[in-house]
Amino acid sequence: MDYNIFGFAYEVLGEISNTVRLLNSLKNIFEILAESDTGQSISQMKHEDIYLNITELAEKYNYNMEVHTVTTEDGYILSLHRIPKGRNSTKNDLVVLLMHGILDSSDSWILQGPNKSLGYILAETGFDVWMGNARGNKYSLSHIKLKSSQSEFWSFTWDEIGKYDLPSMIDYILETTRMKTLYYIGHSQGTTSFYVMLSLKPEYNEKIKMMFSLAPIAWMSHVKSPILKMFSPANKILQYININTYSHSTKYFNTVTNIICNFLPIRCDSLLNLIIGYDFKHINGSMLSIILGHMPAGSSTLQLVHYGQLVQNGRFCRYDRGVKDNLMIYGSKLPPDYDLSVITVPIVLYYSENDWLCDQRDVEILKRHLKVKIDNYIKDFNHLDYLYADVAKDLIYLSIIKQIYYY
């Protein structure tokens, strides 16, 4: 008998049997989140911030937002958003680059609004705030030769983001501000790409004063997210979804989540639940609706596949292109590990046991490979709480500012 959708469904369920309990627990998530303080459902809440882009948001809250573009060595044209100063015009001559996670954009650093978002708080404290956008997200869809409709445009992972995007942004920022160093704050993939950059280009150690890792991701063998596990080469789901892997990741996510939601007794109002978990106790309903208005912001499917490889192989290594291409590109049958021993920048880690993507056990492995690190364990944070939790300012943002001034 030909392989059919029912056989495929059973195979998928068998491969993620250890996560079915987690998936089933999502069944009532939106009934729980839907109740606001006024009794309105999320769908009934109409908040204009859901629909505004980053420059419109800044204008609404009376912040000066500059838009800069930088072209990478391999031809991608990236957008940088800058808040040069706060509304009170305070300046401290310190430059900071904020780098978003996967499927995200610079929007994430200001969505909570004034006095709550890290981007605004840093600006009001006197920092010159720059917010990057990796290739493939909604603000960085241009190339000097390629169009985003071409599969060649999407032939990259976060390896290229670390190798090309971050160095281009950092060089541009330092040249524009006439500074020699800057501070770096990354969330999720924004931490991964930073470790990649310094591993492949250790000379950039001299350009970073200090780095803050929010939900750091490198080793991933203990990841809990069922969606991310599906991008592991060990999972046969990739063989049966007829979508070009050199494509925009949202297409892939829509297909995967549709399959799961059709064959499991859960509600799938948001793919975010299947990625990061369902515990949003630190994020109120109205804030969640704003987040969903800005995310996912786009990425390459290969970025997710690269993470899936790490889930399977238990390593922090470059993208596995197969033996033939590995030999040609890396000079070895297996992709080489990223060498974190060359990192000399002081790194401050923020992590939690309640994060489906950044497991505490994987962070412990990362810590053993870093020379200089400062530990900050945050209780009961999920993967997005670092950006959107009501308590993030007190638990994280003020801590970052204090450590910058202290060190």
The amino acid sitting at 240 is: Y
Question: 97 with 183: CB under 8 angstroms?
Answer: yes
Rg (CA), the chain: 21
Predicted local confidence at residue 237, as pLDDT: 55
Report helix, strand or coil for 209.
strand
Distance CA 373, CA 367 (A): 7
> Which range among 75-84, 187-196, 237-246 shows the weakest confidence by mean pLDDT?
237-246
Give, in degrees to the nearest 5, the angle at Cα 366 between 360 and 367.
90
Give per-residue pLDDT as tens, 35-86. Answer: 333 333 333 334 789 889 999 999 999 999 999 999 999 999 999 999 999 9
Catalytic: 106? no
- Evaluate the CA torsion angle 176, 177, 178, 180 in order and state its sign: negative
| Residues contacting 382, CB < 8 A, separation 6+ | 276, 277, 279, 280, 282, 352, 354, 355, 356
Q: Look at residue 3 in the predicted model and tell me its pLDDT.
A: 41
Alpha helices per DSSP H over 241-377: 249-263, 271-276, 285-294, 301-313, 323-329, 360-368
pLDDT higher at 293 or 345: 345
193 is catalytic: no
Q: Which residue has the higher pLDDT, 316 or 253?
A: 316
Give me 43's structure tokens: 């769908």
Residues 6+ apart with CB under 8 A from 13: 20, 263, 264
Which residues, in sequence order, are CB contacts of 251 under 8 Å at separation 6+?
243, 301
The pLDDT score that the predictor gives to residue 118 is 98
| Dist. CA 383–CA 49, nearest whole Å | 22
343's CB contacts (< 8 A; 6+ apart) are: 195, 198, 199, 202, 205, 370, 371
What mean pLDDT do residues 183-211 have?
98
- Give the model's pLDDT for residue 268: 45
Question: 142 - beta bridge partners?
Answer: 77
pLDDT, tens digit (0-9, with 9 covering 90-100), for 127-152? 999 999 999 999 999 999 999 999 89
How far is Cα 407 from Cα 390, in angstroms, rounded to an integer? 27
Quick: pLDDT tens for 350-359. Answer: 999 888 899 9
Is residue 289 within 8 Å of residue 276, measured between CB atoms? no
Yes or no: say if 86 and 125 are a contact pair by the CB < 8 Å rule: yes
Residue ranges and CATH numbers for the domains of the chain are 5-406 (3.40.50.1820)
**Residue 391: how many CB atoms within 10 A of its CB?**
12
User: Of the listed 320, 355, 359, 385, which one is catalytic?
Assistant: 355
Is 298 in contact with 136 (CB distance < 8 Å)?
A: yes
Asked whether residue 254 carries a pLDDT value surpassing 80, the answer given is no
272 vs 204, residue with greater confidence = 204
- At residue 196, the pLDDT reads 98
Verify whether residue 355 is a known catalytic residue: yes
Is the model's pLDDT at 90 over the cut of 50?
yes
| Rounded to 5°, angle at Cα 142 from 150 and 309 | 65
Reading the block at residue 200, the tokens are: 């492949």
Catalytic residue selected from 104, 106, 383, 385? 383
Catalytic residue among 79, 106, 108, 188: 188
**305/147 Cα distance (integer angstroms):** 22
**Rounded Cα distance, 165 and 156, in Å:** 11
Label residue 265 by pLDDT band (50, 70, 90).
very low
The least confident of 9-23, 106-120, 289-303 is: 9-23
Percent of the chain at pLDDT > 70 equals 76
Q: Which of 111, 137, 125, 140 is nearest to 291 (CA)?
A: 111
- pLDDT exceeds 60 at position 240: no
